Amino acid sequence: MCNEGKLRAIQDEAEPGIFVAAYKCNKCNEIAYSEEVMAKVEAMRRGDAERRSLIKIGASLAISIPAEIVKRLKLKPKGKVYISAKGNEIIARIART
């Protein structure tokens, strides 16, 4: 927050179709949530996600895929995936040939 503007209460669309109480700065337009609302939004976004650590491999970083997901998606070593980023999310799509 810029700490120069005034906050006003709004309803923000945290996820498509899900509106939560938030506060918007009239100067920088940044949106803030209460700690309680932020905890609920983060829990909703996590869903059944499993926390993983990044692994350094050369100049790159890697993420290990949990065994349950490997089995469910029938992934194989040297299989190909498409990686992209949207906001602060990493998106991996299986490349089927």
pTM of structure: 0.50
Query: For the chain, what are the domain ranges?
Result: 7-46, 54-94
| Digit-coded pLDDT (tens) for 9-23 | 999 998 888 899 999
pLDDT band at 97 (very low <50, low <70, confident <90, very high): low
| Digit-coded pLDDT (tens) for 44-64 | 877 777 888 999 999 999 999
The Cα-based distances of 11 to 2, 16, 79 in angstroms read 20, 13, 43
Give the count of beta carbons closer than 10 Å to the beta carbon of residue 22: 20
